[in-house]
Amino acid sequence: MVAMAEDATPTTEDRAKVFAALADPTRLRLVELLVLHGELSGSELAERAGISLALTGHHRKILKEAGLIASRKVGQTTYCSLDRGPLVAAVRDLIPVPED
């Protein structure tokens, strides 16, 4: 899934990919850590989540494929941050907004 703007309309498949990525408690914890800290390196994520760096990489890949995280590389260190666009887009149309 490519990064999606908050105003884009996701397909059912896009939504399913986002929700499937968040259905795993470890991946949800990684997202929570990125919400709290903004940007973390892979090793910082692993340490704060209490999991191995290899397992963190596995979960980051799934989150990235769902469009939920962005990454940038500085030297040999990869930093991750949350991309809220796909998450907001996935839930926006599922929550009814009361009319005034």
How many domains does one find in the chain?
1
Instruction: Specify if 7 maps to a domain.
Output: no
- Residues 99, 12: Cα–Cα separation, whole Å: 25
Domain that holds residue 77: 12-92
Chain Cα centroid distance, residue 41: 14
Task: Give the other-Cβ count within 10 Å of 69's Cβ.
Answer: 24
* CATH code (residue 45): 1.10.10.10
* Contact call for residues 81 and 34 (beta carbons, < 8 A): yes
- Residues 65, 57: Cα–Cα separation, whole Å: 12
Q: What would the pLDDT profile of 3-35 be if each residue is shown by its tens digit?
A: 445 556 788 898 999 999 999 999 999 999 999
Model confidence, pTM: 0.82
Q: What would the pLDDT profile of 41-77 be if each residue is shown by its tens digit?
A: 999 999 999 999 999 999 999 999 999 999 999 999 9
